[in-house]
Structure 1
Amino acid sequence: MRRLRLVAAVCTSLSIAPAPAIAAGSYTTEKVAIQVETVASGLEHPWGIEVLPDGAYLVTERPGRLRLVKNGEVSKPVGGLPKIAVGGQGGLLDVALADDFEESGTVFFTYSEPGRGGTGTALAKAKLVRNGLEASLENVEVIFSMDRKTRRGQHFGSRIAIAEDGSIFFTIGDRGNGKRAQDMMDHAGAVLRINADGSIPKDNPYADGNSVLPELWSKGHRNPQGIDFDRKTNTLYAVEHGARGGDEINQPEPAKNYGWPVISYGRHYSGAKIGVGTKAAGYEQPLFYWDPSIAPGGMAVYRGEMFPEWDGDFLVTALKDRMLVRLDRNASGEIVGEERLLQGEYGRMRDVKAAPDGSLLVLTDEPDGVILRITRQ
C-alpha cells in the first residue's frame, strides 16, 4: 500500500459551450492526447451505463428512470421497473448486462427498495425488450433484497461486476451506520456474491451460512460505489468513499475485512479520530488512499485497445473534485503514479466505462447530466 500526494492535472482545456450542449475539447495528458465530446445530454443524475451490442447505451437515472440512448437521442423511460424508493442517495443505481445478453436480453440492476423499516439495496434481473428506442423490462425478478432496511438515506453502494463464471459481485455501503460494516449477520458495508438466479455459489467463503450470511464475500467497507474486474488477471478491485479523507482502492478477497470503521486513513466529519487509527491486526490495508477525499464514484480497470499507454491502469471518477483520475500501474500491478484529468471542466463525474472500441464513457452527476466520450486525438 502506498499513499501518493496530489499530482497536478496535466490538461490544457479549450473553451466549452454552456450546458447542455458542451463542445468537444482537446486535452494533453501525460501519455496521450485525448478528445472529449458530449454524445448525449438532458439526463437527470445519470448513475450507471452499459453499451448494447448495436452501439446504443443503457443508462440509469437516480430518480428512478432507465433510458436508451442512441445517436444522441434519449428515449422515453423504459417501462417495467419495480417500485423504487427515491431520496437522499437512493434511487435507481447500477446496471449490467448478462454475458449472454445478445441471446437472452438479460440485464441486472441495483436500486433502493422500499420495505419494512425503510429502504435497502436490492438487485434485480429482467429481460430488455426493444423496438428501436422503445423498450420495456419483462420478467422482472428480485434476486437479492437487503435483509435489514433503515430510514437513513445514504450509503446504498452500489455497483455490479459480473465474473467469468457468471456469478454477480455487488456492493452495499454501511447505510450510514459504521457498526453494521463489522456485523457478519448484516449485508451492510460489504461486497456480496450470488449466482444469476439468486442462489449462493458453493465456493463462497461463508456458503454454509454458519453464523455468517452466505452472500458475504468481504466486509468492512464504508460505501463502495465502484467495482470492476481486471479481465487480464481476473482480479476484483473496488473503490469506496471515506469520511473526511480515507477514500480507498481495495482488492476485495474472500472472507477478508477491510477495516471500516475500526481503521481508516480519514477522520470523521467532526474532525474526530476514527477507530484505533490506520492499522490493526486482522484488517486489510488499502492498495491506495486519498486524503483529502476526492469522493470517488465508479471505476474501470482499463484493458482497451484505444489507449495502450493506459493498459492496466485504474480509472476513477470523482464527484467532489469533478474529475477523472488515472492511477498508473506498473507491470507488477503496483500503483506508481496519479494523474488528474479534466478537473473542473465537466462537473461531478459519476461513472466511467470502457466501451468495446476502447473509448471511455463518463457520466456527469448533474441535474442536466451528460454522457461524455473520450477518444484518442
Structure 2
Amino acid sequence: MQRSLIRLLALVLLPGAIPALGAQPEAGAKAVPEAVVVLDEVDSESATFRVVRVVSNLEHPWAVDWLPDGRALITERGGSMYLVDGSQSTALSGVPDVWAENQGGLLDVAVSPDYGESGWIYLTHAIREEGKGGTALTRVRLEGATLVDREEIYRQTPLLEPNYHFGSRIAFQEGGTLLVTMGERGQRRERLVEIPTAQTSVGTTVRLGMDGSVPADNPFAGKEGFRPEVFSYGHRNQQGMAIHPQTGAIFQHEHGPHGGDELNLIEPGNNYGWPAYSYGDTYRGQKPIGEKTGPGVTDPVKYWDPSPAFSGMAFYTGDDFPEWKNDLFMGALAHQKILRIELSTDNQVLHQEELLRGELGRIRDVAMGVDGYLYLLTDSPNGALYRLEPLPVPE
C-alpha cells in the first residue's frame, strides 16, 4: 500500500496533453509541472515534429486509451491501472485479479465506442488456475476512482502452462462486435499440432459480441472443426491490431520466433500458418521452421528479419500531419522505434519510414488520442507516455 501511494505521488503529468476537467485534485495528487519536451525537433520525410513527455514513472505500462471527455486510462502489466487528466493521476480500485508473471499481467484497455451509452471499458489480462493460465477479456464500468460491474466475458481455451505469449489486443468493429488476439501461449510447435482445432482458441483471433456472445455470422459458427468464436487462426503472438479507418480492413502484427515478424491482413476464417509454416528460424540453431508458406495459408502483407518485435499499432487519423493521414504506425520493442507504413488501396505496403530509433526506449503501445495527437507508451520500469506535436506548434 505504501509503495503504491509513493508511486501515485510520483507520477508526473504535463499540462495541455490531457485536458483538465476543472475538478480540484484529490488529496495527495501531485501538482502539474511545466511541460517537458524531450526531443525538440525531429525531421521525418514529410513532417517535422517534437516529442513531449505527458506522464512518467509508469512501471511497465502496456496500453492506453481515452474516455470521450479526454481523460486517459493506462494499464501497467503488474496489475495497476490509472485514470489521468490534466490535473492529477488516480490509481483505480476494482481492477481484475491478474497473473502478473513474465509477460502476463494487466494488458490491453479499450473504451467501448458506445461508452456514452453503455459505460463499458474492456480489459485483457492473464489469468491462472490450477497451474495453468491464459488470456481473459473482462469488461468494467468506471464510478469515480473505482471499477464496478466487473464481468469476465471470455477466456482463452484451453489454459496452458507457459507464462508468456498472451496476445491480448482489442479492436472494435462497426455493428457491435469486437476482436481480441489470443497468443499461442509459448507452446512448442509439436504440442500445438496435437490440440484439435475444435478444442482451442490458442493462436487465434476471436470475434465476439460486446457481451461476449458469439456472432451468428462468425466464419465457424454452426460448423464442426473449430470453436465458433474463432475468426482467424494459425497465429503466434499478435501484440498489435488496428482497423483501417476508411475501409475497415483488419491489420495485425505477429511476433515471429527468431525473425519472421509479420504484418497480416486478417480475413474471416483464414489460416496464417503457425505452427506449420513461418518466415522465422528456430531459437536454437537458427534453422528454418519448415517452409515459409503452404497450401491454404494466407501470406503476410510484409515480414521482417531480424525481428523488430512490433507491439501496439494505430492508424493516424489526425489533422496536424496531413501527409500521415491513414498511415499505419507500429511501435517496436527490440528495435526501440516506430515504423510509419504507407498502404495502397489494395492493402499492400507502398513505403515504410523508421522514426525515433533508440530515442525513447521500447515502444509498447501506439494510440490516437481523442485530441487528434499520436501517443507512444514505453515499456520499462520507468515507462512514460509521449505525444508527437507538429512544428511549428499550433496556437
TM value normalised by structure 1: 0.90
What corresponds to 1:269 in structure 2?
Answer: 283
5 Å-filtered alignment, 1:251-330, equals: 251-330=265-344
What corresponds to 1:55 in structure 2?
Answer: 70
Preserved contact between residue 316 and residue 374 of structure 2 (Cα < 8 Å): no
Pick aligned residue for 2:58 from 43, 46, 51: 43
Report how far residue 283 of structure 1 moved.
Answer: 0.6
What corresponds to 1:347 in structure 2?
Answer: 361
Report how far residue 24 of structure 1 moved.
Answer: 4.2
Report how far residue 240 of structure 1 moved.
Answer: 1.0
Pick aligned residue for 1:29 from 29, 35, 44: 44
5 Å-filtered alignment, 1:153-232, equals: 153-177=163-187, 178=189, 179-180=191-192, 183-184=196-197, 185-208=199-222, 210-232=224-246
Report how far residue 306 of structure 1 moved.
Answer: 2.2
Change (3 A) 1:72 1:371: farther
Pick aligned residue for 1:150 from 160, 164, 183: 160
- Distance in 1 between residues matched to 2:371 and 2:99, nearest whole Å: 35
Give 5+ residue unaligned stretches, structure 2: 1-35
Change (3 A) 1:343 1:276: same
What corresponds to 1:5 in structure 2?
Answer: none
Change (3 A) 1:338 1:271: farther
Report how far residue 104 of structure 1 moved.
Answer: 2.4
Report how far residue 273 of structure 1 moved.
Answer: 3.2
**Counterpart amino acid of 1:213?**
R
Paired residue secondary structure (2:168): coil
What corresponds to 2:8 in structure 1?
Answer: none
Preserved contact between residue 99 and residue 126 of structure 2 (Cα < 8 Å): yes
Report how far residue 327 of structure 1 moved.
Answer: 1.3
Q: Using CA pairs under 8 Å that are at least 6 residues apart, name the structure with larger relative contact order, 1 or 2.
A: 1
Deviations 1:138-175 (A, max 9, x none): 11000001221122111001100011112110001110
TM value normalised by structure 2: 0.86
Paired residue secondary structure (1:171): strand
Report how far residue 261 of structure 1 moved.
Answer: 1.9
Paired residue secondary structure (1:260): coil
Higher mean C-alpha displacement, 82-91 vs 181-190: 181-190
Report how far residue 257 of structure 1 moved.
Answer: 0.4
Preserved contact between residue 305 and residue 357 of structure 1 (Cα < 8 Å): no
Report how far residue 274 of structure 1 moved.
Answer: 4.1
Report how far residue 211 of structure 1 moved.
Answer: 2.7
Preserved contact between residue 105 and residue 129 of structure 1 (Cα < 8 Å): no
Paired residue secondary structure (1:23): strand
- Distance in 1 between residues matched to 2:362 and 2:89, nearest whole Å: 20
Paired residue secondary structure (2:303): strand
Change (3 A) 1:64 1:22: farther
Pick aligned residue for 1:110 from 117, 124, 127: 124
Paired residue secondary structure (2:167): coil
**Counterpart amino acid of 2:231?**
W
- Distance in 1 between residues matched to 2:37 and 2:379, nearest whole Å: 15
Report how far residue 355 of structure 1 moved.
Answer: 1.6
Report how far residue 72 of structure 1 moved.
Answer: 6.6
- Distance in 1 between residues matched to 2:131 and 2:222, nearest whole Å: 28
1:240 has 2:250 as partner: no
What corresponds to 1:10 in structure 2?
Answer: none
What corresponds to 1:14 in structure 2?
Answer: none
- Distance in 1 between residues matched to 2:352 and 2:135, nearest whole Å: 32
Change (3 A) 1:180 1:283: same
Q: What percent of counterpart residues are identical?
A: 39
Higher mean C-alpha displacement, 344-353 vs 269-278: 269-278
1:126 has 2:136 as partner: no
Higher mean C-alpha displacement, 252-261 vs 306-315: 306-315
- Distance in 2 between residues matched to 1:280 and 1:119, nearest whole Å: 31
Preserved contact between residue 299 and residue 353 of structure 1 (Cα < 8 Å): yes
Paired residue secondary structure (1:103): helix
- Distance in 1 between residues matched to 2:98 and 2:146, nearest whole Å: 16
Runs of 4+ in 1 over 4 A off after TM superposition: none
- Distance in 1 between residues matched to 2:293 and 2:151, nearest whole Å: 41
Higher mean C-alpha displacement, 286-295 vs 297-306: 297-306
Pick aligned residue for 1:362 from 370, 376, 386: 376
Preserved contact between residue 159 and residue 170 of structure 1 (Cα < 8 Å): yes
- Distance in 2 between residues matched to 1:256 and 1:100, nearest whole Å: 29
Change (3 A) 1:117 1:148: farther
Q: How many residues align?
A: 353
Preserved contact between residue 364 and residue 378 of structure 2 (Cα < 8 Å): yes
Q: CA RMSD in A?
A: 1.7
- Distance in 1 between residues matched to 2:176 and 2:127, nearest whole Å: 24
Preserved contact between residue 281 and residue 289 of structure 2 (Cα < 8 Å): no
- Distance in 1 between residues matched to 2:249 and 2:229, nearest whole Å: 19
What corresponds to 1:66 in structure 2?
Answer: 81
Deviations 1:162-197 (A, max 9, x none): 111121100011101135378422111111111111
Preserved contact between residue 83 and residue 114 of structure 1 (Cα < 8 Å): no
Give 5+ residue unaligned stretches, structure 1: 1-20
Paired residue secondary structure (1:102): helix
